[in-house]
Amino acid sequence: MNPKELKNRLDARKSGSDDFYLLDVRNPNEQEISTIDGTDLLIPVAELPGRIGELDSWKSSGKEIIVYCRSGARSANACGVLKSTGFSKVFNLEGGILLYSDEVDPSLAKY
């Protein structure tokens, strides 16, 4: 999923015409620097395998999960972890928060 698609989906979610989960897999110190408005949960990618149970309600909901990190590499890995544990509607934010900042919200701090 590209940043502009995510922005459109976030806008649609605010109006109630779309519903999905937005998962940040960066580290807490990165989230303190900047975060995409509408993020539902932070689970660092290294902790994801041990915390997958926290997402059981997400799996049973059938909603899509959009995953992001700083540049897209860790979130791509997280998507693989989620898919290997039975999640089927999982999407990676291309370019991560850096590209989102470039294309959608330049007010987000880059690091």
Q: Which amino acid is at 19?
A: D
Bridge partners of 84, per DSSP, are: none
What ranges do the domains of the chain cover? Answer: 3-104
Bridge partners of 66, per DSSP, are: 22, 91
Per-residue pLDDT reduced to its tens digit, 68-102: 999 999 999 999 999 999 999 999 999 999 999 99
Per-residue pLDDT reduced to its tens digit, 35-47: 999 999 999 999 9
User: Any idea what DSSP says for residue 71?
Assistant: S
CATH code of 3-104, in short, is 3.40.250.10
- Distance between CA atoms of 97 and 72, rounded to whole angstroms? 8
Q: Which two tokens stand for residue 36?
A: 């995409």
Q: Which two tokens stand for residue 46?
A: 């290294």
Instruction: Tell me the catalytic residues.
Output: 69
User: Any idea what DSSP says for residue 95?
Assistant: T
Q: What is the pTM of this model?
A: 0.97
